Structure 1
Amino acid sequence: MHIEERIPTVKNPPEWFTGDVWLDPIIAPHDADQRMSGGLVRFAPGARTAWHSHARGQYLRVTEGTALCGTRDGTVVEARPGETIYTPPGEEHWHGADEDCFMQHLALLEGADDPRDTTTWLEHVTDEDYRRR
């Protein structure tokens, strides 16, 4: 057993996010036998991910604010602190903060056999898709 070294907060790249989003990495694989990764992600009001999917799905545990999560069929769900959103493997989705408050969630996912295939990033979410509820 050992204590992990602190990894600094990073701002997520604009290619994959609209608005300001910060990540505090918490869990990262140390070798090829480990697949779990996770981080605490903080979204400014109105900030959101681009459309994306995960090879093995993803869990989002909301810890602050109101989270929005949308799917390609036009469904947008709201989740509040203490609630968990699950997106199944391969489901194209987006998630982010409501327009009037910060949102924070713990994102947990298992890596694909080839780590480059864990998350597939797609186009940005339109304002129309974001505001659909």
Structure 2
Amino acid sequence: MEHITSTPTAKAPDERFTGDVYLNPIETPTDPARFASALVRFTPGARTSWHSHANGQTLYITDGIGLVGTRDGSVARVSAGQTVKCPPGEEHWHGATDTTFMAHIAMVVGDTDGDGTTWLEPVTDEQYTHALNSTNGS
């Protein structure tokens, strides 16, 4: 058994996120393991860039209210206790609403070259506003 009493909080890299986002690793795999997880905290308005995962991603919302959007325009408004599963290869983004913090545990199973994430362009302010407007009150 390994008992980890704390992990350092790091600011997420600006080239992959818009706004202030903070990460605490939970599981960083070493060979042969490929499962990785982190607690990710988004300040109001903060979000990931578009991205996909070779083996999919599971998000478990732990606090606040957020959004998860896909390229086809689907947007889910999520809150604490809910889970979202993004299938392999699906381009998506996730983040907080404009007025609330949101935190989730992000879980992925990596591939042989790392965590299997392909990072793409930032979500534009227009895309984000459209997602907010399409889920207000939902």
TM-score of the alignment, normalized to the shorter chain, above 0.5? yes
Q: Output aligned runs, 1:86-125, within 5 Å.
A: 86-115=85-114, 118-125=116-123
CA shift, 1:35, in A, is 0.6
RMSD: 1.1
| TM-score of the superposed pair, with normalisation by structure 1 | 0.94
TM-score normalised over the length of structure 2:
0.91
How far 1:33 sits from its partner (Å)?
A: 1.1
Q: State the distance in 2 between where 1:89 and 1:73 align.
A: 15
Query: Are the equivalent residues in 2 in contact too, given 1:17–1:48 (CA < 8 A)?
Result: yes
Deviation at 1:104, TM superposition (A): 0.4
Contact 1:24 1:39 in 2 (8 A): yes
What's the secondary structure of 2:127's corresponding residue?
helix
Q: Which residue of 2 aligns with 1:43?
A: 42
CA distance in 1, matches of 2:5, 2:82: 29
Structure 1 unmatched ranges of 5 or more: none
Structure-2 separation of matches of 1:14 and 1:23: 13
Provide the C-alpha distance between the structure 2 equivalents of 1:81 and 1:57, rounded to a whole number of angstroms. Answer: 21
Q: What SS does structure 2 have at the residue aligned with 1:66?
A: strand
Q: Tell me the percent identity.
A: 54
Query: Post-superposition shift, 1:5?
Result: 6.3
